[in-house]
Amino acid sequence: MRLELKQIGIIGAMDDEIALLLEGMPEHSVTASAGIEFRVGKFQSKQVVVCKSGVGKVNAAVCTQILIDRFGVDAIIFTGVAGALDPQLNIGDIVVSTECQQHDMDVTALGFPKGTIPFAELSVFQADPELVELAYSAASQFDGQAVRGKVLSGDQFVANRDTVEQLREELQGTCTEMEGAAVAQVCAMNGFPFVIIRSMSDRADGSAHMNFTEFTQLASSNSYRIVEEMLRRL
């Protein structure tokens, strides 16, 4: 690998998304910052910092910047669940981010295209190609579909067909969630490698709230398996 990964930051937004990681690192130290607990230890004999950011873009952004500034990690992997936008995707399938964008960045009233951050150089943030390939090839170990695609993030739980169609048409999203593009933007601002791995807990449609409750554990575990396999291969 071109990247030298001595210590890796791993973020999930919710307890379910990091539970299996924590089981795999029974001994670790805990440091709290901005109300987030950063767990430093070894997972798959690699040095890692695992944390639960909390839900939403602000939590994810703060968590990412702290990982970079205070813990000296070399790359960031996000593991978690998302709503599928691509109709080919089933619950449990994997999306590995090639790029991320905030779908709720909306300054269209002033003439900016949807999802565009005014006056910023970038609004679509590219994941590290090496981490993408590592995650994608790790995913091929397992049953179920894995695709590379665009992860859309916003501070909203998407749960209707119209929004799904709009997000696919306007922003070409593969899945939607609430943190990835914030992690991605902070990483881009710091020139820092990242990848977002998401397993589908729902289809972001009228059944999303029920599916989310039923399948978050399964999807979290599918996403976890990819991270575990990635670290094993490093």
| Residues in contact with ligand SAH by the rule CB under 6 A | 13-14, 55, 80-83, 157-159, 176-179, 201-202, 204, 208, 212
CB 204 within 8 A of CB 163: yes
Q: From the CA atom positions of the chain, what is the Rg in Å?
A: 16
> Is 17 an annotated catalytic residue?
yes
Give the Cα separation of 160 and 18 in Å (integer).
27
Residue in 99, 128, 177, 202 annotated catalytic: 202
* Nearest-approach distance from CB 3 to ligand SAH, in angstroms: 25
Query: Is the CB of 85 or the CB of 188 nearer to ligand SAH?
Result: 85
- Strands 146-153, 175-177: parallel, antiparallel or unpaired by DSSP? parallel
Give the Cα separation of 110 and 105 in Å (integer).
12
* Nearest-approach distance from CB 4 to ligand SAH, in angstroms: 30
Residue number of the CB atom closest to ligand SAH? 83
Residue in 17, 93, 177, 179 annotated catalytic: 17
> Is 74 an annotated catalytic residue?
no
Helices (H), the chain: 15-23, 57-71, 129-139, 161-171, 180-189, 208-233
Query: Is the CB of 18 or the CB of 204 nearer to ligand SAH?
Result: 204
What amino acid positions are annotated as catalytic residues?
17, 202
